[in-house]
Each structure stands twice: as C-alpha cells, then as structure tokens.
Amino acid sequence: MEKDVLFEITKEHLETGMRGYPVGYCTTSSVDEKKGLFYVGKPVSEMSHFDPIEVIYLLFHKKLGDKKEVDSFKEELIVRSKCSDEFVDHVTKLPRKGHPMSLFASALQVLGMVEKVGDYREDCLNIIAKLPFVAATVINYHANAGPVKENQPEMGYMENFTHMLNLPISHKDLLCEVLRKFNILHYDHGGGNLSVFVGKAVASGLQHMYGALSAAMNGLAGARHGKANQDCLAFVQEIQTELGDDPRESEIEKFLKNKLEHHDLIFGFGHAVLRVEDPRATIFYDFAQKHFSSHPLVKIALILRKVGTKILQENPKIHDPYPNVDAISGSVLSAAGFTYPEYFTILFGLARCVGIAIQIVYERLEAREGKGTPIIRPRYIFKPR
C-alpha cells in the first residue's frame, strides 16, 4: 500500500528544477538508475532491432501487438499520414534564420492551425503518422534542398523519412538502420524530462495537441536537453581538430584534464537518473564498433568512452561518470552519412513527439478516472531581495 506522503518538501528542494519531485504518473516509460530505460515495463535495450511501428504500438496500446495487430495499426497510420498542400505552403514561407528547431516547432503549430481535429486521441495518432513528413519538409526547406519527395509511408516509418530527405547522403541504407535505432531509442524517457513536462503543462490548460507539442519542442531545443548530441559531436570534432584523426588515449586524457582544470564541460557524460552507462549509448557503441570502427569521429568517441569515465570517476562529487546516449549518437549519425548536426535535434524531436503525444492523451483523457489532470499551477514563495 502506498503511503499518503510520497515526498517531503524542504527548502533544499526549492529552485532545483523540481528535480525528483513526484507530481503524477507515467504510463508509457520509466528510467531505472541501474537498468536504464523501459517502455511499458520492457527494457528498450531489447527493442533496438524492432520495427518502429511495433514500438509505437506498444507505447500507444500498452502491450506488444501480434503481427495482425501491428499490421492493422500500420495501415491506420498510413491513412492518416498525408499532410495538406496548405500546410506545406505555409511552412515553406517561414524564415530560415536561426536554429532549425524553431522552424520545426513552428511547423507543428501550423499543422495544428490547418489540420487539427480537436480530439486529443485522434490528433495524437494523426501527428504520429505525419511526423516523418513534417520533419523531412522542415529539413529540406531549411537546407534549401527542394520540395519533399513523394510521401510513401508504406515503405516503413523511418524508411519513408530517409527517402524524403533531399540532402546528399552517401550511405542511405545504413543510415536508415541508424535512424530506426535512433528513433526507437528516443520515443520516451519517463514523465518528467523538460520537453514532455512542458508539453503536458501546456496541454493542461486545454491547448490542443499541436500547440502543446510545439511548446515541448521549444523546450527540447535547448543545449541542456535535445541539443546535447549536437554539442557532443562538436566536442568530439574539437578533439579531432586539436589532436588529429588518430589520437592516443594519453593525448585525449591530457586534453580532458586540461578542460577540467579550466572548469570547462566534458560533454556526453552524466545523467539525471542513471548511475551506469546509458544502455542506449551501449547499443550505439556496439553498432559503431561493428560498422564504423575506422571512422575518425567514432574512434575518438570510443576512446572518450573509456578515458572520460576513468577521469570522472576520480572526482567523488560526480555521481554518474558514465556516457549518455548523446556521447555517441552524433558520431554514429555522421559516420552513417548524416553530416548535418544542425538537424540532430529535429531527429530527436521526430522521435520524442511520439511519447509526449501519448502521455498527453493519458493526462487529458484517462488520468483521474477520465477527468484528466488539473491545470499545472505550482506554488512559488515570495522572496524579498
């Protein structure tokens, strides 16, 4: 039986980003500090070879589907996947200035303006179906790469997305495999990370699904959240620029210690919950060693995995000295031919919108015996200056 008091608030919990403070339930995923990420109680580390539609089915229906159920679900998403010409027309008139995540968040808002139904569950399924086209449209437009190729959702969720990209990519088949893994591993990550909390908070005011997801993507865009893998790749590239394509462990160790001495960040290590290497990172490390072991960025990232952990373990104040998924995902994407780090966060958003949308459905239509959660309204205490 649960205790009535789950958490006692003290002054030490104020101005800490509500870190660890329980505010509700998450029915889609959970994060264990030793075992990593779970989708509906099942370890995500066992799903990296799944088809994305199988995993989306699991998150939406809270159970693994058999072939007939998944095939039927796929057909339903195919029917819902077409975006209107009006949507494309409006998006391709937006400014290209600034980070492309601003364009992605704006595109979601535009999609809601011209295509929303107004029912959270219907809009959830519609937006999941349309996300590959929306993301491809934004990337192609921002890159000035021409219109999206014909939308062919029957190809597969990420196969279609890869097909619609007009960017020069050298290894599209292998990239598609990387993108499928990236997509699956980033669908959801508990109920309290910034982007999902922002999305649910905005929806708690009864904003529609598209507006809530647009707000969530603005939350995801920040360097402390979804932009981290772009920054991690820049960190690996900085090492490459300074030490060359094939640096020794001792050289990277010296580089990292110099960073720490100057109070600079070592990107790609640590996690808010985990106290082990992120299992999602482990999947990408294994894939990188199998397919890209000779790629300069991957070689550096693999050395960082070892040397960075060793150095950070020497600091007793660091609770999690292990790599997170951002430490390697950008290097793998680059090695697979997606050499456009400015779009990494859009790839993250393409995935994370799935989990956020499904969590919003729960909070608006199912929580508290169907009444939904109340509007978010935390208390702030007046503090005279």
Q: How confident is the model at residue 172 (pLDDT cuts 50, 70, 90)?
A: confident
Among candidate residues 271, 278, 295, 320, the one labeled active-site is 271
Q: Catalytic annotation on 225?
A: yes
pLDDT tens per residue across span 208-260: 999 999 999 999 999 889 999 999 999 999 999 999 999 999 999 999 999 99
Q: How confident is the model at residue 9 (pLDDT cuts 50, 70, 90)?
A: confident
Q: Report whether 120 contacts 140 (CB < 8 A).
A: no
**How do the residues of the chain divide into helix, strand and coil, expressed in percent and rounded to 5?**
55, 5, 40
Q: Catalytic annotation on 271?
A: yes
Q: Catalytic annotation on 326?
A: yes
CATH of 38-226+342-366, one of 1.10.3720.10, 1.10.10.370, 3.40.50.300, 1.10.580.10: 1.10.580.10
The enclosing H or E element of 43 equals strand 42-43
List the one residue out of 327, 322, 258 whose CA is nearest residue 298: 327
Domain ranges of the chain: 38-226+342-366, 228-335
Among candidate residues 188, 278, 320, 326, the one labeled active-site is 326
Q: How confident is the model at residue 2 (pLDDT cuts 50, 70, 90)?
A: low
Among candidate residues 13, 225, 231, 291, the one labeled active-site is 225
Cβ contacts of 15-18, under 8 Å, gap ≥ 24: 18/192, 18/378
pLDDT score for 19: 85
- CATH code, 228-335: 1.10.230.10
pLDDT score for 5: 67
Answer yes or no: is pLDDT of 200 > 50: yes
pLDDT tens per residue across span 285-319: 999 999 999 999 999 999 999 999 999 999 888 88
244 three-class SS: coil
Q: How confident is the model at residue 3 (pLDDT cuts 50, 70, 90)?
A: low
pTM above threshold 0.85: yes
